[in-house]
Chain A
Amino acid sequence: MSVSLVELLSPATLSRIENYALLAKVAVEGYLSGLHRSFSRGQGSEFLQYRSYTPGDDLKYVDWKVFSRSDRFYTKVYQEETNMNCYLVLDASASMDYRGERAVCSKWRYSAMVAACLAYLASRQGDNVGLCLYNDDIVEMIDSRNRQGQLQRILGALAKTAPSGGANHQYAWNYLSGHLKNRGMVVFLSDFLEAEDGLPPILKRIRFARHECVSIQVLDPDEVDLPFDRATEFIDPESGRRILTNPEKVRAHYMERMNDFMTRLSVALMRSQVEFLSLTSSDSLARSLAAYLHKREALR
């Protein structure tokens, strides 16, 4: 019995796959086949120019006609050798380590799955892909490249990282903006808590540098509607702040403040011309992949 695309891209299905490489391949290939589009791999189809042959170049791209005329070796260069740079920026702070009763995985795991799929997709299309993981410091920084082993390095960094510490969004994004090169795309994955004021100006700067930005917010379903029904001592995993309360009594107030936060965040990002996507960790990954592909097309 074949698995539908909805089931294939659901976190419930994908979170059972421990290996990020396999997870990304399953999700992306399934998604692309569902779109009925062909995406080029490696060398593109539009010839761009010749360059001198370098030992180690694939002999398939040597122009033998030129050789027969001139007794010299030249390699053909195709359009997609000029590849796009894609940066995946993930929040690895302690708030991302939360997993509620209704979610099949934590916010971090969900973000990492999305990042793995996007990295695979970018690599598959011959793009340069890099990774930045941060909390109150830069946890991992992998510059965007398209060399062999790059995808494995990125997936390995995702697999070995455990979220911890606070989230210093300003520091991380300022650091990142100093590493961006050429034109490309930056995908942010975070819960964006405490970021609604600091993030939009930075993204605006990144946009001015002609990079496309996609912000993907990942929340747990519990954060949306505070479903608890017994007296609870809530503890902030980053600041350690504690609040004893009865969730049933304060739920309405919580949802009002959460909606207010979401509104301010989305309006600020819209003004900065940044695409904003808000997901919970039980949503299908298809939305993330679609947002990426949409932006990728815009860069052509």
Chain B
Amino acid sequence: MLAFQYSWVLWGLLGLAVPVLLHLIQREIYHPLRFPSVRFILKGKLPFQRRKLPSDLLLLALRLLLLAALIFALARPEWLPREAIAAEPASEDRVVFLVDLSASMSGWGAWDEARQRVWSLLEERPGAEFGLVLSSDRVVDTVAPSADSSALTATLEASEPEMVAGDHREGLRAAVNLLGDGAQRRTLYVISDLQATAWEPGGLPEVPRAIDIEWVRVGGEREENVAIMRVRAYPGSGDNRHVQAELFNFGRSDVTRTATLTLGGRTWEQEVTLPGGRSTELSFDIDAADGSRARLSLDDDAFAADNHYHFWAGRPPSLRVLAIAPLSDEPAKAEDLFFLRSALETRGEIQWLSFDVETLEPGDLADDWSTYQAVFALGAGVYFSDAEWQTLRRYLEQGGTAILTPGETPGRLTGLLREHALLEAEFLGAARADRRGPTGLALDWIDPESPLGGVFSDEAARSLQMARFYRYLRLAVPDGPAEVWLRSSADEPLLVTRTLGRGRLVFLPFSFATEWSDLSLTAGFLPLIRELVAGDISADHGIVREETGFSRAGLAARIGMSESHPFLDTVQPRVPGLYSDWDRPVEVNLSRRESVLETAGVIELGRAVRSRVEEGVLAASTVNGADERSGRPLWHYFALAAGLFFLLETLAAAFADRSRRRLTASQPGATYREVEP
């Protein structure tokens, strides 16, 4: 007999009345046009076609057949042979329940329904041995098959869905293992909401054909769910914070929700309307509150677990900067270091990013600088070993930023840069200016196309232009990969840069010491250094974001710490929250894969766990309110028929249009009518 997997789709056949009504009304659709000068247009007379053509009836019939074929195809028809319907299972010896414990089971009453189904199945199968596997993203617990179901009952009653996304491959394997081998009849009941993201057919382990599988879908028809997908906090104007959230309405209907932001003991509320099937942006602009631990919540719906999002609303972690200064060989570099630290370690209310500067000398450097946001070599380049030059190159290629300044042997530095193929700039000599009177070169030009040009404009540029350079290296920079971003009033380069791999090398032909220039004394020095170090850093860098169910080893690797670090003991992988007892906050939230409403089809699941299909009957079967057995799918025949009807309809419509045009041109009796706007 013919059966349908999604029989509710057949209600769409009522929509077939629509083309019939349209045919009866027969209103001609005119070409609409949005036109500015409508006030000058007079309403006029239009031709009116009275007679219906025979081709109109054919078109109507084809369109009805096309719609009907599509609806039948979408209802997923299948043919159930008599044997599959009439056959009753033989008496069973062993039953294992694989019960879904993922987060989505906490919504739509699914968990309570799952337990009720287990209780009722226990009573329906007297004399059998019953076992249990609880599965979320791992095997949570197992109960070996036994005639005494008390242990199973106690385990089930003590369990609750976990706040993790489901992955039941291991659970399915564990259930098959519990059923064991033998000639006894073995039945596996999979009791789950069969959420599509947790039950992807690809990758499911094979279940031996000797084991009967019954798919028990719980949780009912899911039509509505709204989830908070992500929340980010950014610096706002002044001391304010700007919180940006993305919400998604998984249902089809528009809904209105109240969003509540909690931070530092204060709350802000906003009502938001979410169109069905779409994401919506929501933002809060709040004055700076004490505390950085924030949470955004929505009023509860059928699935409450995705209505909360924990996030860090405070300053991001400090950026690490390495300053390499050859203090043993050139003690005067202490002055450079002083000005650099002053510029980077200034922490003001409006400075969102902060820096931690670590100072080392050449020879004491590690061979991996990847944890540093930027590296300053303050006259240190000439003291680098070959290995340190290679480390610098690797660091640049991996995306680092290195800023080099000269020391007491500047000519040698430019030579080393050329030798290591880092910068092709020719040293023309060292320039000195008389400091008496208004001498010294000024900074006269900032490349407007560069990142500095965007930052230093108008008044900000004046602060840089007030600096004077008394000592600097005169460079010739050939055309090529190197760019000049700053020039002096003598048109000589004051900042040369090039990209290397994913990183950037910056060469300043002057030192920060006041003997060389008073740039470090001007108001422009701090923003210049910060822009070179962190110009492209996002406002929420350094914040670690995890989905529940992450592994300890994975988190340790991501934040660059040992697996035995005590901070990891404070982070609970299965509990959403904000963990900030360390210098990098860790946001842990439930994966939104648990929020989708789509469920997996039992026919596909049945095929996925079998290696081949027995002739006529699938070994997989479903229990979904009423007993059904899976049959041969027929949807592709209806889809093919829909394609054929579409092709015929297109041809018939073209023919009808041509016939109408001939009629309009030649028919003597056609009348015109006045059309009111």
A binding-site residues for B, Cβ under 8 Å: 55-56, 58-59, 73, 95-96, 98, 107, 147-149, 191, 193-194, 219-220, 222-223, 226, 228, 230-239, 241-247, 249-250, 253-254, 257-258, 261
Indicate if the CB atoms of B37 and A194 lie closer than 8 Å. Answer: no
For A95, list chain B residues within 8 Å (CB). Answer: 36
For B40, list chain A residues within 8 Å (CB). Answer: 254, 257-258, 261
Q: How far is the CB of A270 from chain B (nearest CB, A)?
A: 22
Indicate if the CB atoms of A230 and B458 lie closer than 8 Å. Answer: no
> Which residue in A148, A219, A236 is a CB contact (below 8 Å) of B38?
A236
For B44, list chain A residues within 8 Å (CB). Answer: 245-247, 249-250
Task: Indicate whether A235 sits within 8 Å of B38 (C-beta atoms), given known contacts A228-B33, A246-B46, A249-B44.
Answer: yes
For A261, list chain B residues within 8 Å (CB). Answer: 40
Indicate if the CB atoms of A231 and B31 lie closer than 8 Å. Answer: yes
> Which residue in A59, A96, A223 is a CB contact (below 8 Å) of B37?
A223
**A-facing residues in B18-57 (Cβ within 8 Å):** 30-47
Task: Indicate whether A241 sits within 8 Å of B36 (C-beta atoms), given known contacts A56-B465, A148-B457, A249-B45.
Answer: no
Closest A residue to B438 using CB positions: A73
Closest B residue to A224 using CB positions: B37
Indicate if the CB atoms of B36 and A243 lie closer than 8 Å. Answer: no
For A250, list chain B residues within 8 Å (CB). Answer: 41-44
For A239, list chain B residues within 8 Å (CB). Answer: 38
In the assembled complex, B412 has its CB within 8 A of some CB on chain A: no
Indicate if the CB atoms of B34 and A149 lie closer than 8 Å. Answer: no
Indicate if the CB atoms of B42 and A220 lie closer than 8 Å. Answer: no
Task: Indicate whether A232 sits within 8 Å of B438 (C-beta atoms), given known contacts A55-B462, A55-B466, A244-B675.
Answer: no
> Which residue in A59, A148, A241, A244 is a CB contact (below 8 Å) of B461?
A148
Closest B residue to A241 using CB positions: B38
- Complex formed: what's the CA distance from A235 to B38 in Å? 7
| Smallest CB-CB A-B distances: 3 pairs | A95-B36, A56-B462, A245-B44
In the assembled complex, B256 has its CB within 8 A of some CB on chain A: no
In the assembled complex, B489 has its CB within 8 A of some CB on chain A: yes
Indicate if the CB atoms of A234 and B33 lie closer than 8 Å. Answer: yes
Q: How far is the CB of A167 from chain B (nearest CB, A)?
A: 10
Indicate if the CB atoms of A149 and B457 lie closer than 8 Å. Answer: yes
Indicate if the CB atoms of A235 and B36 lie closer than 8 Å. Answer: no
Indicate if the CB atoms of A98 and B30 lie closer than 8 Å. Answer: no
For B676, list chain A residues within 8 Å (CB). Answer: 244
In the assembled complex, B442 has its CB within 8 A of some CB on chain A: yes
For A242, list chain B residues within 8 Å (CB). Answer: 677
B binding-site residues for A, Cβ under 8 Å: 30-47, 438, 442, 444, 457-458, 461-462, 465-466, 489, 675-677
- Complex formed: what's the CA distance from A10 to B39 in Å? 30
Indicate if the CB atoms of A223 and B32 lie closer than 8 Å. Answer: no
For A258, list chain B residues within 8 Å (CB). Answer: 37, 40
- Complex formed: what's the CA distance from A148 to B677 in Å? 53
Indicate if the CB atoms of B30 and A233 lie closer than 8 Å. Answer: yes
Chain B CB within 10 Å — which of A95, A231, A236, A258 has the most? Answer: A231
Indicate if the CB atoms of A244 and B46 lie closer than 8 Å. Answer: yes
> Which residue in A56, A223, A228, A230 is a CB contact (below 8 Å) of B36?
A223
Indicate if the CB atoms of B30 and A253 lie closer than 8 Å. Answer: no
Q: How far is the CB of A246 from chain B (nearest CB, A)?
A: 5
Task: Indicate whether A233 sits within 8 Å of B31 (C-beta atoms), given known contacts A242-B677, A243-B41, A246-B46.
Answer: yes
Q: How far is the CB of B214 from chain A (nearest CB, A)?
A: 57
For A241, list chain B residues within 8 Å (CB). Answer: 38, 677
Q: How far is the CB of B566 from chain A (nearest CB, A)?
A: 51
Closest A residue to B446 using CB positions: A148
> Which residue in B30, B37, B458 is a CB contact (below 8 Å) of A244?
B30
- Complex formed: what's the CA distance from A257 to B489 in Å? 63
Indicate if the CB atoms of B458 and A232 lie closer than 8 Å. Answer: no
For A191, list chain B residues within 8 Å (CB). Answer: 36
Known: A244-B43, A249-B45. 19 other contacts (CB 8 A): A55-B466, A56-B461, A98-B35, A107-B36, A149-B457, A219-B37, A222-B35, A232-B33, A234-B33, A237-B34, A244-B46, A245-B41, A245-B43, A245-B44, A245-B46, A245-B675, A247-B44, A254-B42, A258-B37
Q: How far is the CB of A28 from chain B (nearest CB, A)?
A: 18
* Interface pairs (14), CB distance under 8 Å: A55-B462, A56-B462, A56-B465, A96-B36, A149-B457, A222-B35, A231-B47, A232-B32, A232-B33, A235-B38, A236-B34, A236-B36, A245-B42, A249-B45
For B465, list chain A residues within 8 Å (CB). Answer: 55-56
- Complex formed: what's the CA distance from A245 to B32 in Å? 11
For A246, list chain B residues within 8 Å (CB). Answer: 44-47
Q: How far is the CB of A5 from chain B (nearest CB, A)?
A: 28
Q: How far is the CB of A75 from chain B (nearest CB, A)?
A: 13
- Complex formed: what's the CA distance from A244 to B42 in Å? 9
Q: How far is the CB of B247 from chain A (nearest CB, A)?
A: 25
- Complex formed: what's the CA distance from A245 to B38 in Å? 11
- Complex formed: what's the CA distance from A226 to B39 in Å? 13
- Complex formed: what's the CA distance from A34 to B677 in Å? 52
For B42, list chain A residues within 8 Å (CB). Answer: 243, 245, 250, 253-254
Chain A CB within 10 Å — which of B40, B45, B457, B676 has the most? Answer: B40
Closest A residue to B31 using CB positions: A232
For B45, list chain A residues within 8 Å (CB). Answer: 246, 249
Indicate if the CB atoms of B43 and A220 lie closer than 8 Å. Answer: no
For A231, list chain B residues within 8 Å (CB). Answer: 30-31, 46-47
Indicate if the CB atoms of A230 and B37 lie closer than 8 Å. Answer: no
Indicate if the CB atoms of A234 and B458 lie closer than 8 Å. Answer: no
- Complex formed: what's the CA distance from A253 to B46 in Å? 17
- Complex formed: what's the CA distance from A223 to B36 in Å? 8
Closest A residue to B38 using CB positions: A236
Closest B residue to A55 using CB positions: B466
Indicate if the CB atoms of B38 and A149 lie closer than 8 Å. Answer: no
Closest B residue to A248 using CB positions: B44
- Complex formed: what's the CA distance from A199 to B457 in Å? 39
For A219, list chain B residues within 8 Å (CB). Answer: 37
Q: How far is the CB of B440 from chain A (nearest CB, A)?
A: 11
Chain B CB within 10 Å — which of A58, A59, A234, A250 has the most? Answer: A234
Indicate if the CB atoms of A233 and B32 lie closer than 8 Å. Answer: yes
Closest A residue to B466 using CB positions: A55
For B36, list chain A residues within 8 Å (CB). Answer: 95-96, 98, 107, 191, 193, 220, 223, 236-238
Indicate if the CB atoms of B37 and A235 lie closer than 8 Å. Answer: no
Task: Indicate whether A98 sits within 8 Å of B34 (C-beta atoms), given known contacts A73-B438, A148-B458.
Answer: yes
For A223, list chain B residues within 8 Å (CB). Answer: 35-37
> Which residue in A58, A73, A236 is a CB contact (below 8 Å) of B35?
A236
For A149, list chain B residues within 8 Å (CB). Answer: 457-458
Q: How far is the CB of B117 from chain A (nearest CB, A)?
A: 55
- Complex formed: what's the CA distance from A219 to B39 in Å? 14
Chain B CB within 10 Å — which of A58, A235, A245 has the most? Answer: A245
Indicate if the CB atoms of A234 and B41 lie closer than 8 Å. Answer: yes
- Complex formed: what's the CA distance from A223 to B38 in Å? 9
For B47, list chain A residues within 8 Å (CB). Answer: 231, 246
Q: How far is the CB of A26 from chain B (nearest CB, A)?
A: 17
For B41, list chain A residues within 8 Å (CB). Answer: 226, 234, 243, 245, 247, 250, 254
For A193, list chain B residues within 8 Å (CB). Answer: 36-37, 39
- Complex formed: what's the CA distance from A149 to B32 in Å? 43
Closest A residue to B461 using CB positions: A148
- Complex formed: what's the CA distance from A254 to B466 in Å? 65
- Complex formed: what's the CA distance from A241 to B466 in Å? 62
- Complex formed: what's the CA distance from A134 to B239 in Å? 33
